[in-house]
C-alpha cells in the first residue's frame, strides 16, 4: 500500500504540472489572439503608439549598439584565431557580416531588449493592475487591451527590425575596426569581402527574426503584467517571469525561424 500511494502521489504531481502547463499555454494563446486582433481593429491610439515606439525603439539604441559593437569585435577575433589553424584568415570579413546579419544581430539585440523592455512593460502594467488603474480604464469604457497592449505590440514589432538593422551595421563596424586595427587587414579588401558575400537575403532573414522577437518581447511583458498577482510580490514575479519567458521564447523562435528560412 505505501508503494502504491507513493506512485499515485507522484503521478498526481506530474498530472497537475502538465495540466497547469497546458492551462498556462492556453491562457497565453488566447491573450495573444485577443491582443493581436486589437492591433488591426479601431479605435487606435496613435499618441500612445508613438510614445511606446520611442520608449522601446529609440531608448534601446544605446544598449543594442554597445552589444553589437563588442560582439562584432569579439567575433572577428574568434574567427581569425580559428581560421588561422586552416590558413583561412581571409574569411573573417564575410563570416562577421553574415553572422551578425543572420544570427547575432537579431538574437543578441532581442535578448538585450527583452531584459530592458519586457521587465519595464510587465512592471508598469502589473502596477496598474495592483493600483486598479486597469479596472478604471474599463469603467471609463476604454478597452485595456486596446489601450495598453495593442500599441506596445505594434511598436515593438516595428522597432525591433530597425534596432536589428542598426545593430548589424554597428557589429560589422566593430569587426572592421578590430580587423583593420588589430589583425592587420587592408581596409579596402575588408570592405570588399564584406560587400561581396553579404546578400540581401541574409539581412532580410535577420529582420524577419527581429520582428518576431519584438512581438514576443512585448507579448510576454504585457501578458505577465496583465495577469499579475496583487501586491509588490506579484509585480516582482511578473517582471521576472516576463524576462525569463521572453528570453526562452526568443531562443526557441530563433531555431524555428532558422529551420524555416535556411532549411535545405
- Answer yes or no: pTM beyond 0.85: yes
Rounded alpha-carbon distances, angstroms, from residue 141 to 48, 126, 128, 135, 136: 17, 20, 16, 10, 9
Residue in 119, 110, 58 with CA at minimum distance from that of residue 214: 110
- Tens-level pLDDT at each residue, the chain (264 residues): 577 777 777 777 777 888 888 888 888 889 889 989 888 888 888 898 999 999 998 999 999 999 999 999 999 998 888 877 777 777 888 889 999 999 999 999 999 999 999 999 999 998 888 888 887 887 887 888 888 899 999 999 999 999 999 999 999 999 999 988 888 888 888 888 888 888 888 899 999 999 999 999 999 999 998 887 777 788 888 899 999 999 999 999 999 999 988 875
The whole-angstrom distance between residue 16's C-alpha and the CA centroid of its chain comes to: 30
Alpha carbons 159 and 53: distance in angstroms, whole number: 7
List pLDDT tens digits, range 163-179.
Answer: 999 999 999 999 999 98
Mean pLDDT, all residues of the chain: 88
Task: Give first-to-last CA distance, the chain, whole Å.
Answer: 56
CB-based contacts of 132, cutoff 8 Å, min separation 6: none
List pLDDT tens digits, range 214-231.
Answer: 999 999 999 998 887 777
Amino acid at each position: 500500500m505505501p508503494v502504491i500511494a507513493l506512485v499515485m502521489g507522484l503521478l498526481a504531481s506530474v498530472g497537475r504540472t502538465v495540466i497547469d502547463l497546458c492551462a498556462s499555454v492556453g491562457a497565453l494563446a488566447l491573450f495573444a489572439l485577443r491582443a493581436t486582433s486589437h492591433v488591426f481593429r479601431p479605435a487606435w491610439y496613435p499618441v500612445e503608439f508613438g510614445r511606446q515606439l520611442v520608449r522601446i525603439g529609440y531608448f534601446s539604441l544605446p544598449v543594442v549598439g554597445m552589444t553589437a559593437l563588442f560582439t562584432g569585435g569579439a567575433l572577428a577575433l574568434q574567427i581569425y584565431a580559428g581560421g588561422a589553424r586552416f590558413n583561412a584568415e581571409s574569411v573573417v570579413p564575410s563570416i562577421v557580416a553574415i553572422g551578425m546579419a543572420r544570427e547575432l544581430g537579431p538574437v543578441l539585440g532581442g535578448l538585450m531588449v527583452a531584459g530592458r523592455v519586457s521587465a519595464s512593460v510587465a512592471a508598469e502594467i502589473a502596477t496598474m493592475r495592483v493600483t486598479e488603474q486597469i479596472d478604471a480604464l474599463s469603467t471609463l469604457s476604454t478597452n485595456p487591451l486596446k489601450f495598453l497592449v495593442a500599441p506596445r505590440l505594434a511598436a515593438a514589432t516595428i522597432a525591433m527590425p530597425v534596432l536589428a538593422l542598426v545593430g548589424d551595421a554597428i557589429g560589422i563596424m566593430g569587426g572592421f575596426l578590430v580587423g583593420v586595427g588589430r589583425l592587420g587587414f587592408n581596409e579596402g579588401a575588408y570592405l570588399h569581402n564584406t560587400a561581396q558575400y553579404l546578400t540581401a537575403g541574409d539581412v532580410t532573414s535577420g529582420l524577419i527574426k527581429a520582428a518576431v522577437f519584438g512581438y514576443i518581447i512585448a507579448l510576454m511583458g504585457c501578458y505577465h503584467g496583465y495577469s499579475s498577482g496583487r501586491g509588490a510580490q506579484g509585480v516582482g514575479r511578473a517582471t521576472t517571469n516576463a524576462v525569463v519567458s521572453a528570453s526562452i521564447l526568443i531562443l526557441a523562435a530563433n531555431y524555428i525561424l532558422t529551420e524555416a528560412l535556411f532549411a535545405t
